[in-house]
């Protein structure tokens, strides 16, 4: 029997899913760029710096939400994908882990509020508002993970845009209304708390009774409260454990640190003019990291199930990276001018190497997701080691130009891809053989 129509239908569905997620990610990134762009026109330079610092703090504090989404998606996929996303079994460990993660992230920001206010010269009322924004943004990883693991990519795209609106719409309105930094972020916090009920409605419209019923419960018969079977040897399918959330969250943080490490080193080691030029090139790096992200998002539930997902997904990420590097080689000057203006045209010839750093980290992100899908306990340990190695090498070599530091960054990115790829190979070697 010819199965090609079924294969074509599956590929078509995946293509539509990829387009939807790509469009949603692009819209979310656009929304993220609007507050600083509007602030540059509405605020004094000092207040603009405070706005940028506050937005950066929220971005860092909410990174565990990406890890929460990944962990939930893996749990849903392991429990049966779409079936797990509609199974009602009462509130349990999923709710506890999601709320615990969100409250811990917000609590850290709140406890650090006095230090943040003084060290970053923020109005005293801003850090508590940032904490209030952090909790719902992290909590959003729960329903988004349910949709991702259940391969409801159309609704995942809608949810991604809804989260971005929740994070930035209130801030934008506050800036337009001239409410000042404290009032702006207070309005931002209010808008952020509209996200969880919106995503809960999205799940109910998807056929899921509520967030609390979206996964098998760790308190169902034969499963302990911690999400471990009575034999204490294997996690129940779909049970979400704190260790899994921590592993995924730490992996997200590792990628964030790795993607900014060379930029931080540039600020520390390079002359001011070279540091600014490196910052322009680093924009291309981050675009290349997140450009192929759609492949990883769509592939994650299939990575849990095994099969050809690892080979196909890796091939797509590598192909996307190669295309981006090739494009930068052809139009490097144009890209640099678009990002930083004519004053930075001199680094146009380095554009392909900045993009190469991002493309290699995109491969690393894919490998890390493969490790998370395979229940690796420390999926990002290699990335942390590479970041430490980059700092040590840079301290010894003391690069003094953009090209010298960029060479170190390319080496670090290649090492991270090789280390995480080797970890995947060791775990998947029988399947890949």
pLDDT digits (tens, 9 = 90+) for 238-261: 456 678 888 888 898 898 889 888
Higher pLDDT, 129 or 377: 129
Does residue 366 share a domain with residue 246? Answer: yes
Say what the pLDDT of residue 365 is. 95
Lowest mean pLDDT among 43-57, 94-108, 228-242: 228-242
The pLDDT value given to residue 53: 82
Residues 95 and 146 in one domain: yes
**Comparing C-alpha atoms, which of 191, 210, 1 is closest to residue 92?**
210
Claim to verify: residue 99 and residue 179 sit in the same structural domain: yes
242-269 vs 272-290: helix crossing angle, rounded to 10: 150
The answer to whether residues 247 and 355 belong to one domain is: yes
pLDDT above 80 for 366: yes
Q: What's the rounded Cα separation, in Å, for the pair 412 and 116?
A: 31
Secondary structure class of 223 (helix, strand, coil) = strand
Q: What is the pLDDT of residue 82?
A: 53
Cα–Cα distance for residue pair 77/80, rounded to 1 Å = 5
Same-domain check for residues 34 and 157: yes
Q: At what angle do helices 293-305 and 4-42 cross, to 10 degrees?
A: 140
pLDDT of residue 6: 45
Q: By residue range, what is the domain housing residue 193?
A: 21-213
The whole-angstrom distance between residue 334's C-alpha and the CA centroid of its chain comes to 28
pTM score: 0.79
Residues 328 and 201 in one domain: no
Contacts of 392 (CB under 8 A, 6+ apart): none
Is there a single domain that holds both residue 330 and residue 188? no
The residue among 125, 99, 106 whose CA lies nearest residue 57 is 106
Confidence of residue 345 (pLDDT cuts 50, 70, 90): confident
Tokens of 404: 């010298």
Give me 46's structure tokens: 């000092």
Please say if the pLDDT value at position 222 is more than 50: no
What's the mean pLDDT in 273-293?
A: 87
Domain count, the chain: 2
Q: How does the average pLDDT of the chain come out, rounded?
A: 83
Does some domain include residue 406?
Answer: yes
- Say whether both 255 and 376 belong to one domain: yes
Best-predicted range by mean pLDDT among 114-118, 329-333, 409-413?
Answer: 409-413
Are 344 and 197 in a shared domain?
Answer: no
Name the least confident of 37-41, 164-168, 309-313.
37-41
Q: Is the pLDDT of residue 59 over 50?
A: yes
Q: Is the pLDDT of residue 217 over 60?
A: no
| Mean pLDDT value across residues 122-135 | 93
Residue 94 lies in a domain: yes
Whether residue 58 lies inside any domain: the answer is: yes
Select the more confidently predicted residue: 211 or 39. 39
Decide if 16 is inside a domain.
no
Which residues have C-beta within 8 Å of that of residue 69, sequence separation ≥ 6?
140, 141, 142, 144, 145, 148
In this structure, are 206 and 261 located in the same domain?
no
The answer as to whether 193 is a domain residue is: yes
Alpha carbons 288 and 182: distance in angstroms, whole number? 34
- C-alpha separations of 85 from 17, 131, 153, 213, 358 in Å: 18, 30, 13, 8, 34
Kindly tell me if the per-residue pLDDT of 428 is higher than 80: no
- Per-residue pLDDT band for 314 (boundaries 50, 70, 90) equals very high
pLDDT of 176 reads: 93
* % of the chain surpassing 90 pLDDT: 42
DSSP bridge partners of 228 = 235
CA 427: distance to chain centroid?
24
**297-306 residue pLDDT tens:** 988 998 988 7
Residue carrying structure tokens 């192909």: 319
The answer as to whether 63 is a domain residue is: yes
Would you say residue 271 lies in a domain?
yes
């Amino acid at each position: 029997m010819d199965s090609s129509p079924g294969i074509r239908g599956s590929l078509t569905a995946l293509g539509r899913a990829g387009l939807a997620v790509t469009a949603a990610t692009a819209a979310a990134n656009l929304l993220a760029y609007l507050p600083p762009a509007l602030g540059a026109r509405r605020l004094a330079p000092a207040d603009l710096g405070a706005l940028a610092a506050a937005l950066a703090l929220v971005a860092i504090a909410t990174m565990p939400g990406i890890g929460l989404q990944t962990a939930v998606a893996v749990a849903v996929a392991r429990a049966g994908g779409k079936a797990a996303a509609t199974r009602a079994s009462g509130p349990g460990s999923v709710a506890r882990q999601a709320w615990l993660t969100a409250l811990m992230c917000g609590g850290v920001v709140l406890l650090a509020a006095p230090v943040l206010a003084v060290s970053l010269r923020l109005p005293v009322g801003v850090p508590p508002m940032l904490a209030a924004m952090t909790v719902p943004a992290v909590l959003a990883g729960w329903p988004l993970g349910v949709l991702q693991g259940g391969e409801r990519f159309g609704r995942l795209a809608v949810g991604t845009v809804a989260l971005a609106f929740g994070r930035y719409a209130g801030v934008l309105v506050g800036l337009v209304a001239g409410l000042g930094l404290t009032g702006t972020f207070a309005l931002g916090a209010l808008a952020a708390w509209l996200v969880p009920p919106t995503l809960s409605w999205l799940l109910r419209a998807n056929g899921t009774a509520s967030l609390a019923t979206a996964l098998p419960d760790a308190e169902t018969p034969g499963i302990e409260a911690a999400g471990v079977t009575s034999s204490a040897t294997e996690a129940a399918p779909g049970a979400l454990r704190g260790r899994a959330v921590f592993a995924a969250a730490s992996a997200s943080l590792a990628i964030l640190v790795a993607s900014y490490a060379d930029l931080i080193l540039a600020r520390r080691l390079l002359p001011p003019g070279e540091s600014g030029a490196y910052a322009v090139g680093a924009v291309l790096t981050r675009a290349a990291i997140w450009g192929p992200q759609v492949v990883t998002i769509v592939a994650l539930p299939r990575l849990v199930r095994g099969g050809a997902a690892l080979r196909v997904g890796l091939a797509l990420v590598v192909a996307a990276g190669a295309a981006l590097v090739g494009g930068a080689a052809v139009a490097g000057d144009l890209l640099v001018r678009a990002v930083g203006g004519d004053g930075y045209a001199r680094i146009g010839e380095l554009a392909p190497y900045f993009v190469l750093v991002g493309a290699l980290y995109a491969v690393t992100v894919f490998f890390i997701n493969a490790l998370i899908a395979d229940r690796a306990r420390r999926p990002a340990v290699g990335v942390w080691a590479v970041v430490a190695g980059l700092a040590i090498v840079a301290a010894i070599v003391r690069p003094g130009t953009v090209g010298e530091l960029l060479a170190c960054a390319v080496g670090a990115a290649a090492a991270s891809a090789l280390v995480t790829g080797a970890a995947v190979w060791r775990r998947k070697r029988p399947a890949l053989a």
